[in-house]
């Protein structure tokens, strides 16, 4: 299957700083990328959907100014958590798909801990 | 509204068979997915059903009934490594994935 690489795998940052998470599709063109957040023992929660070259569509309750998403190319999307706080500590996962393909492929996830 | 229901937790014995059910109510239907997720890791794809019936893939099988809004994932010859959460997700008319909360499967020796 297609490969999606997410980096970093884990990060610890101080409260008030910003953290950038990268999601790359290695062997296909990711026209659509999804960003999820998952708290312990809970299911995936979709944060936003981004189409290459367009502004991301955020789900209700997700602050677009706090979670900045950039999808400037067909192989790279980034999620920046700005002014991170301890409550932002979570597992962030991206997935990507090409065109109308039904299957989306997941990155490895990023464990963010804000101290 | 859109809703995916699956049991929170199930326990089974190594070597046995277990069936994890999923019922759904969504705005449109473009297929149902099953994913496996080990703790601390991203989900991995198991199966995709868009037509009614049973799809078999090794020890894992997935069944779909669109008229009943129902699917199940069948795991045979259970191994300890199958201990994980199993997520049911439905793709709606907008091609968005609607996720269930996941079923934590505990395998005992």
Q: Which of A47-56, A76-85, B7-16, B91-100 has the lowest mean pLDDT?
A: B91-100
Largest Cα–Cα distance of chain A, in whole Å?
40
Residue in A110, A98, A91 with CA at minimum distance from that of residue A3: A98
Task: Return the closest-CA partner of residue A40 out of A89, A109, A107, A95.
Answer: A89
3-state SS, one letter per residue, for chain B: CCEEECCCEEEEECCCCEEEEEEEECCCCCCEEEEEECCCCCCEEEEEECCCEEEEECCEEEEEECCCCEEEEEECCCCHHHCEEEEEEEECCCCCEEECCCEEEEEEC
Look at A64 and A54; give whichever has higher pLDDT: A64
- Burial pattern B10-21, b for ≥16 Cβ within 10 A else e, equals bebeeeeebebe
- Contacts with B31 from chain A: Cβ below 8 Å: 102
Which DSSP symbol is given to B77?
S
**C-beta separation of A50 from A33 below 8 A:** yes
Q: Is the pLDDT of residue A72 over 90?
A: no
CB A38 within 8 A of CB A90: yes
Which of A43, A49, A102 lies at the smallest CB-CB distance from B48?
A102
Q: How confident is the model at residue A1 (pLDDT cuts 50, 70, 90)?
A: low
Residues paired with B102 in a beta bridge? none
Distance of alpha carbon A12 from alpha carbon B47, whole angstroms: 34
| Average confidence score pLDDT of chain B | 93
> How many Cβ contacts (< 8 angstroms) between chains A and B?
43
pLDDT digits (tens, 9 = 90+) for B46-72: 999 999 999 999 999 999 999 999 999
**pLDDT of B94:** 75
Chain B residues near residue A93 by CB distance under 8 angstroms:
42-43
By C-alpha distance, which of A48, A45, A59, A52 is closest to A99?
A52
User: Which chain B residues are within 8 Å of A100, Cβ to Cβ?
Assistant: 95
Please report the pLDDT score of residue A38 as a whole number.
86
Residue A54: what pLDDT? Answer: 84
Give residue A61's region: left, alpha or beta (phi > 0; psi -120 to 50): left
End-to-end CA distance of chain A: 37
Cβ atoms of B86 and B73 within 8 Å: the answer is yes
Assign A102 a pLDDT band (cuts: 50, 70, 90).
low
- Using DSSP, state whether A100 is helix, strand or coil: coil
Region B15-36: mean pLDDT is: 94
Cis link prior to A8 (omega < 30° from 0)? yes
- Residue A70, CB-side half-sphere exposure with 13 Å CA sphere: 9
CB contact under 8 A, A103 and B45: yes
- What's the whole-number average pLDDT of chain A? 90
Q: Which residues of B touch A104 (CB under 8 A)?
A: 97
Q: Do A34 and B97 touch (CB under 8 A)?
A: yes
pLDDT value at B39 more than 80: yes
């Amino acid at each position: 299957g297609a490969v999606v690489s997410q980096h970093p795998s884990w990060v610890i940052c101080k409260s008030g700083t910003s953290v950038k998470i990268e999601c790359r599709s290695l062997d296909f063109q990711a026209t659509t990328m999804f960003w999820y957040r998952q708290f312990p023992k809970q299911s995936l929660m979709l944060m936003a959907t981004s189409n290459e070259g367009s502004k991301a569509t955020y789900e209700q309750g997700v602050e677009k100014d706090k979670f900045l998403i950039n999808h400037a190319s067909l192989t790279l999307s980034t999620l920046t958590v700005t002014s991170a706080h301890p409550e932002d500590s979570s597992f962030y996962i991206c997935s990507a798909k090409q065109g109308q393909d039904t299957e989306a492929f997941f990155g490895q996830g990023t464990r963010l801990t804000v101290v | 509204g859109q809703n995916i229901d699956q049991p929170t937790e199930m326990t089974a014995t190594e070597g046995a068979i277990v069936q994890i059910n999923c019922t759904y109510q969504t705005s449109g239907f473009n297929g149902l997915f099953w994913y496996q997720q080990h703790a601390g890791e991203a989900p991995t794809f198991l199966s995709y059903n868009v037509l009614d019936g049973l799809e078999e893939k090794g020890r894992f099988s997935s069944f779909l009934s669109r008229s009943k809004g129902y699917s199940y994932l069948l795991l045979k010859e259970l191994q300890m490594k199958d201990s994980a959460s199993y997520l049911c997700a439905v793709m709606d008319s907008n091609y968005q994935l609607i996720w269930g909360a996941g079923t934590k499967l505990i395998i005992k020796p």
